[in-house]
Structure 1
């Protein structure tokens, strides 16, 4: 499995499904079929639903699931720190990790712990990104479980991301909460190199800083 392809694909499909994002479903499906067949099966319910459902309904469902309910919040530190003072420092730490890798998340308009942003980082910086995802394994699993409970087609995407990390996924919410206390398994999480075929999938949300002679 090419884990970087899984991360890049998940980053794309977990963003708001505007026309540009929905137009990428064929590219996402082909990339997964070629490089990550098991993940392709997990993404299939969402990609099939996109193809069979009017755009307005897809967009309305996304807002309902991710924007109107904290049970499915895509902000990783929300699950570990909530709306506390500590979370402010955590968000600064996310930004510093990105900048240390030569990336600039400030153009996205999203908080740096937004899962699509973290997944894009992971796809282009496999070692650092995988370590970051593993640190927030409890958050990922709680989002996954909440989506399963809602019978959302997005659940398979979270399952595919969790499957790239070491250790089995918890079976229920109680076990997932325990991860926040005991910590996730600490096995190696080295990834395959980034697959450049996915570069045209979307304009990069994070960009390397531009250095001029004299954004």
Structure 2
């Protein structure tokens, strides 16, 4: 596949994945419909996990799914949606990493709101959907954290593991050194130094997704052709 075609395909996938990682609310049915339309345009390794999650979400009462989301991402450290946490924990280095992400967004002419942290996976995927070359680099840079999150969701038997399976399928096959990084993070966990991460937020009580509790909304994807 030519690079331009691959970027267009991945843009749609990343947009759908971002929507599915948002908090389940009364917009969920529309998001599931869009995700299924996107899945129809994707290769099997990307599409099948999207379909599996959409089918689970469609047959689960909304209140139950929302409670599961909070229990998974707000109350489990190992299922943190903030990507820089896996490499840096709540240390000073994390503040630097957050600033770097925000600068990358700004250089691309892309702004996030004050109540969002730039390393939330749904935000990174949203950015990747609009800036696929830069977004692919960011996702690859945080590959160890992504894979660790995917393992944690699998261990928890969480339906959101399907979304992470789909994300992983859009990225290059893991190389040996990346596998080592994943194993090291799994064994050691992130650093434990607790400091503030201003100017983005006060000291965080827990690494769950509380600062981005509202869903990340995206425009409808243009299915069937390049963006």
Q: Give the TM-score, by structure 2 length.
A: 0.74
The match for 2:24 is 17
Does 1:122 pair with 2:142?
no
Deviation (angstroms), 1:22: 3.6
The separation in 2 between residues aligned to 1:139 and 1:33, in whole angstroms, is 28
Which stretch of the first structure deviates more once superposed, 128-137 or 12-21?
A: 12-21
Out of 51, 55, 64, the position equivalent to 1:57 is 64
Deviation (angstroms), 1:89: 1.1
Matches within 5 A, 1:76-91: 76-91=83-98
Deviation (angstroms), 1:86: 1.1
In structure 2, list runs of 5 or more residues that go unmatched. Answer: 1-5, 187-217, 222-227
Does 1:163 pair with 2:169?
yes
Deviation (angstroms), 1:21: 3.3
1:149-171 per-position Cα deviation (integer Å, ceiling 9, x unaligned): 1111111111111121112388x
In structure 1, list runs of 5 or more residues that go unmatched. Answer: 181-197, 202-215
Matches within 5 A, 1:1-215: 2-107=9-114, 109-168=115-174, 176-178=182-184, 199-200=219-220
The separation in 2 between residues aligned to 1:97 and 1:175, in whole angstroms, is 24
User: What is the RMSD computed on CA atoms of the aligned residues?
Assistant: 2.2
- May I ask how many residue pairs the two structures share in their alignment? 181
1:75-100 per-position Cα deviation (integer Å, ceiling 9, x unaligned): 00000000101111111111111111
Deviation (angstroms), 1:57: 0.1
Query: Which protein has greater RCO, CA pairs closer than 8 Å, 6+ apart?
Result: 2
The separation in 2 between residues aligned to 1:20 and 1:137, in whole angstroms, is 29
Deviation (angstroms), 1:44: 2.0
118 and 166 in structure 1: CA distance in 2 versus 1, 3 angstrom threshold: same
1:18-44 per-position Cα deviation (integer Å, ceiling 9, x unaligned): 111343201111121123443221112
Deviation (angstroms), 1:174: 6.7
The separation in 2 between residues aligned to 1:80 and 1:98, in whole angstroms, is 20
